Chains A and B, each alone.
Chain A
C-alpha cells in the first residue's frame, strides 16, 4: 500500500519561497507521475503540477513562473518550491500519485503565508 507524507514549514513570510517535500513509502517512486495539489481554506482543489521519475515536469500555467517540482529517486521523495508567495498561496498542500487519476494522497500540509 503506497503511503505519502508531506513535510515542511507551516508558516512562510510573504515574498519568500514555500518548500515542501513528499516522502513515498510502500512502493518505488520510479514509476507513475507525482503531483502537488492545493486547497485554500474552504475552497476547491487546484492542481499545481506533476513530475515523472525521470524528471520531466508539467505545471499549471497560472503558477508555472513560480513553481519547481523536483524528484530524488534515491530518497523516494519529490519536492515543491513556490517562489514569491502571497497570502493567496495560503492553502493545504497535498502530494499525490497520478496514474490518470489520483489514487494515493498524503494527509496534507497547511501552509500559511503571513508576516
Chain B
C-alpha cells in the first residue's frame, strides 16, 4: 500500500495568513494526488486534482504543487471559511489511500 503522510497534523493561523500543508507519499505517485477540504459534519469537497488543477468553483487562493513523492497545498490568504480539515489522497494505485489530515484552526 502507498502510505500518505501529511504535515502538520494541525496548525493555528490567522485570517490573511499564507498556509502551506505538505503531503508525502511512500513511493512515487507521479501527479496522481488530490486535495480535499472537510468541514465538521460534511462530506469532503474536492479542491485540487492531479496535484495542481483547481476544481471548478474553488477560489484561486488555493493552489497545489508537486510530483513524485512530495506535494503541497497552499492557501495564499486564509479566509474565515477556510478553517477546516484538509486531506490528500493518491490515485496512483489501489488501494486508494488518504493522508491523516491537517486541521486548520483559528489563531
Cβ of B34 and Cβ of A101 under 8 Å apart? yes
A44 and B43 contacting across the interface, CB-CB below 8 Å? no
Instruction: Say whether, besides A60-B95, A102-B36, A44 and B46 are in contact (CB < 8 Å).
Output: no
Looking at B10-18, B19-27, B75-83, B97-105, the stretch in contact with chain A turns out to be B97-105
Q: How many interface residues does A have (CB within 8 Å)?
A: 19
A65-98 with Cβ < 8 A to chain B? 94, 96, 98
Q: Is the CB of A103 within 8 A of B96?
A: no
**Per-residue A-contact encoding for B34-57, CB less than 8 Å = 1, 0 else:** 101000001111100110000100
- In Å, the complex CA distance between A101 and B42 comes to 18
- The prevalent SS among residues of B at the interface is loop
Contacts of B45 in A (CB 8 A): 105
Is A61 interfacial (CB-CB < 8 Å)?
A: yes
The residues in A between 10 and 65 inclusive whose CB is less than 8 angstroms from any CB of B are 35, 44-47, 58, 60-61
B52 to chain A, nearest CB (A): 12
Cross-chain contact B49 with A100 (CB below 8 angstroms): yes
Residue in B1, B43, B91, B100 with the greatest tally of chain A CB atoms within 10 Å: B43
Not counting A100-B32, A101-B49, A105-B43, a sample of 6 additional A-B residue pairs whose C-beta atoms are within 8 angstroms of each other reads: A44-B98, A45-B89, A46-B98, A58-B94, A100-B49, A105-B44
Q: Would you mind naming 30 contact pairs between A and B with Cβ atoms under 8 Å apart?
A: A35-B96, A44-B99, A45-B89, A45-B98, A45-B101, A47-B97, A47-B98, A60-B94, A60-B95, A61-B1, A61-B95, A94-B44, A96-B43, A98-B96, A100-B32, A100-B34, A100-B50, A100-B91, A101-B50, A101-B89, A101-B91, A102-B36, A103-B46, A103-B49, A103-B55, A105-B43, A106-B43, A107-B42, A108-B42, A108-B43
